[in-house]
Chain A
Amino acid sequence: MANTSAAPAGTAPQDGTRRDFMFLATGAGLAVGAGAVAWPLVASMAPDSATIAAGAPIDVDLSPITDGQIINVFWRGKLIFVRKLTEKEVGDMKGVPQGQLIEPAAFDSRVKKGHDQWLVVYGNCTHLGCVPIGHQGNFEGWACPCHGSQFDAVGRVRRGPAPINLPIPPYAFQTDAKIRIGEEGGKAAA
């Protein structure tokens, strides 16, 4: 770089190196500056602290829910289904062969230990987020009106295009008739 043809004849060689330094320093300054400007612009679009604070755990009273009923609750703006399974549904779901499932998951992994009758799942289809309609479809569970996915009584996907089972939010039983959503084993969700 010190011998660039642009340097006019008679210029001292150190002029070239000074220009090189200016060029590199300016370029580095621009790159750092552009990054310093872009970072807050992008970061400001992330969920803000008020939104995060509003995402604290919630308690749900299970006592009014009757057999077979599904209720809607919201946590962090997300719809959650709380469903009390009937004895028949529990039996049917335990009997589903794993080979028939798109995403194999044992019955025990869908409920909390000792609370076989209670299902807590996110209420948005894992395809594109529509709300599946309860007690519809061929699997005692939900059918999505948007793109035809079907889920069984414990929220396992049985017919695509949804790729995975309805996810289970973090929750824990406080008593037999009360759950806290957003906290698992005494630890708050991130």
Chain B
Amino acid sequence: MQVYLNGKAYEAKPGETVLQLALRNGIYIPHLCFHEKTGQAAKCRACVVEVEGIPGLKTSCNLPLKEGLKISTNSERVLDAQRMVVDLALSSGRHDCLSCEQSGNCELQDAAYYLGIERPTYQLYEDNFEVDDSSEFILVDRSKCISCGRCVEACNHTVVNEVIGFGERGFATKIVFDGDIPMGTSTCVQCGECMQLCPVGCIIDKRAVGSGRNWELDKVETVCPYCGVGCRMEVQVDRKQNKITRILGVDDSPTNNGMLCVKGRFGFDFVNSDERLTSPLIKENGSFRDASWEEAIALIARKFTEIKKEFGSDAIAGLASAKVTNEENFAFQKFIRKEVGTNNVDHCARL
């Protein structure tokens, strides 16, 4: 199917919308509510375009493509409307990039940059927003919310925790947790999906505040060390201090599709902890001493052989960890059954 964007022909995939086609081909159309994961909402209205033969403007995020469609994403009329719409979003809250955590990674900032908006024309918000810092890991600053609805969609339909919803209406519309109670006292499990999808600086990582700009951080892709699911994650590292700042899920990962759980996303304080084990320990006369891996493994092998000889195989039991993979668990039970010779094998998830 061939369609035309700004006079140039493009090949569209079946089921693609105008916005998806444009983004895939490197044509930017401002969009604040659309995200591949949460889908079209047509709420922000920033992605309006002109279509030949259709009167009025159309939102490109929910505009299906048809053979031969001629679309303009950058006519004067389109840009004027987009400029006003983005200006309205900017005017609606305390969008102050200087101190905002999201600066450099903010989709509203990108849209304003593209449209050449220096500062909002209007000031609509009253300075009486309270920051909700009641929860352990997530900070909610509603003065920056643009009601895009991504967090609501994600909480209800992606991770299905059903905590976030919209309360009030009109200009007073706000995101609420359960029946409008602080996030910390709600049924939120702190998975952080809302935080990852928030296009602006409204829902942010509480512990990362002030610890480095987005562009200063090194992004390292890795696999979550916690359980065997194998979620892919992007670890943002401050190289100067050799410290992890925050962790995000990787969107195109087949195992987790950008999602993480509270442990994977926020449980990284062990990395630089003083109490972290860095070598095997052997207990002698009631206290531990550092040892090498060779020494530790040799000790275990000797003890296991002695126990097996003296008391029989069933005197030994194996308990595996959920942090290892299926393959490792398989090898472990094989070792216990075959080498040790007992069926006393279990997994910590049963405890």
A pairs with B: no
Q: List the interface of chain B (C-beta within 8 A of A).
A: none
Q: List the interface of chain A (C-beta within 8 A of B).
A: none
